[in-house]
Amino acid sequence: MPDIALPPLEDLEFSVSELPAAVARPKAAPAAAAPEKPAKPLAVDADLDFTMEEFDRDFTESSVMAIDVDHDLDPLQADLEQAVVLFANGQDAAARSLLEVLIRAYPGSEGKRFWQLLFDLLQVVGDRAAFDKFGVEFAEACETSPPAWRLEQPVVTTTQEGAKLFTLQGVLTDECIAPLTELANLIAAKQAAMVDCGKLIGCDDEVAGRLAALLASARKNGVAITLLQPEAFQRRLNDRLVVGEAVHAPSWLLLLELLQRHGTQEAFEERAVDYAVTFELSPPSWDVRPAAAAAKAAAPQTLRDDAHYLAGDLKSCRFEDLIPIIEEQETPILDFSGVRRMDFFSAGQLVNRLAPFKAAGREVIVRSPNHLVAELMAVVGLNKQARIIVPKS
């Protein structure tokens, strides 16, 4: 473990908690039941250009930015790291048991960080009953309102015209492909749908193969599946696949399907030849029939936000796909609001990816990680390579 020493930190997500005595702060309001509400997206005036001044209006730095890994480790930090690493390794029961002990071992505001970790763990595992029970205990122990249970943003919605809209975002793995399951059901029922790829960074080969098969099946059976804003994802996918390197075969098939729908025949046939040379297999053929499109499909109205979204459980990730994304943006923003968990290996790899940009004087912003992920970021020193921010209350 790295050596760390610091006083208890304020709330990582909302600025309503008690601070250590060294920091002056108004007295917290009496405990009250927190209303149930979904997390709000970044509010940006659609009529104004997105600026850092507006950005700073809605977000503030996470308190993990204050952690200095060069200091000696204190007992509280050692206990916190143990719980965070247990959770990162998927040992939810052990992490939960430890946190339930620690919230009582560190009473009052001193234990606020452990409470935050426990609430986020209960949110991740979906234990609403325990969340509410500990909320009452938290209000009595810390003399402030407990956090609200967060409703997950839907990945499948219905447009005003009644069509299904699927939103794919972040880096999809086989552990976060719920939208594809419902999409498969719609295609089987021959129902039209739209798939928004505007915030999709990448996907692993298993997801790529499944998505390619679904889109090909829809096209061959005349089911109207319309892809919205696929250009950036398609470009990153194309750049990733190298002729002669016989890996990522499912991703090759997804690229060919995307070219079939959103490319030219010339571009399709060029990459089809590359596929044949690489795998010594016959590639799919160009389909002269155009893919059916949902009637009057239009890109959904979104906020002007150039952030790149990650979602689900990040396990054994190397984050190669993030490098061109960061290079393209003057101030890149990586949104972690949809990330449930990140393992220790992935956190270390993210440090390695961001360190050269920090050394070159570039600022990368990591936005809205939960407490468990944010504390892990501090453990591996990511708070020294990127600016970690959270929503203002």
How does pLDDT run across 209-254, given as a tens digit for each residue? 999 999 999 999 999 999 998 998 999 899 999 999 999 999 999 9
Amino acid in position 14: F
Position 337 scores a pLDDT of 87
State the average pLDDT over residues 315-328: 89
Please enumerate in sequence order all residues whose Cβ is within 8 A of that of 151, keeping only pairs 6 or more positions apart, or say none: 36, 37, 38, 39
Position 350 scores a pLDDT of 96
State the average pLDDT over residues 116-135: 94
- Rounded to a whole number of angstroms, the distance between the first and last alpha carbons of the chain is 32
Position 35 scores a pLDDT of 39
Amino acid in position 45: D
Q: Mean pLDDT of all residues in the chain? A: 80
| Position 59 pLDDT exceeds 80 | no
The model's confidence at residue 358, banded by pLDDT at 50, 70 and 90, is very high
How does pLDDT run across 201-218, given as a tens digit for each residue? 788 899 999 999 999 999
State the average pLDDT over residues 96-113: 92
The model's confidence at residue 160, banded by pLDDT at 50, 70 and 90, is low
Counting other chains too, the contacts that 108-111 makes at CB distance below 8 Å and 24 or more residues apart are 108/18, 108/141, 108/142, 109/8, 109/17, 109/18, 109/19, 109/20, 109/142, 110/8, 110/76, 111/8, 111/141, 111/142
Position 268 scores a pLDDT of 96
Q: Distances from the Cα of 272 to the Cαs of 250, 276, 381, in angstroms?
A: 13, 6, 43
The model's confidence at residue 325, banded by pLDDT at 50, 70 and 90, is confident
Position 267 scores a pLDDT of 94
Cα separation, 308 vs 177, whole angstroms: 18
| Position 113 pLDDT exceeds 70 | yes
How does pLDDT run across 167-205, given as a tens digit for each residue? 887 778 776 667 788 889 889 999 889 998 887 878 889
| Position 165 pLDDT exceeds 70 | yes
The model's confidence at residue 67, banded by pLDDT at 50, 70 and 90, is low
| Position 379 pLDDT exceeds 70 | yes
Position 49 scores a pLDDT of 41
Torsion of CA 34, 17, 43, 307, to 10 degrees: -120
Position 313 scores a pLDDT of 86
| Position 283 pLDDT exceeds 60 | yes
The model's confidence at residue 308, banded by pLDDT at 50, 70 and 90, is confident
| Position 72 pLDDT exceeds 90 | no
Cα separation, 47 vs 293, whole angstroms: 30
Task: Count CA within 13 A, CB hemisphere, residue 194.
Answer: 20
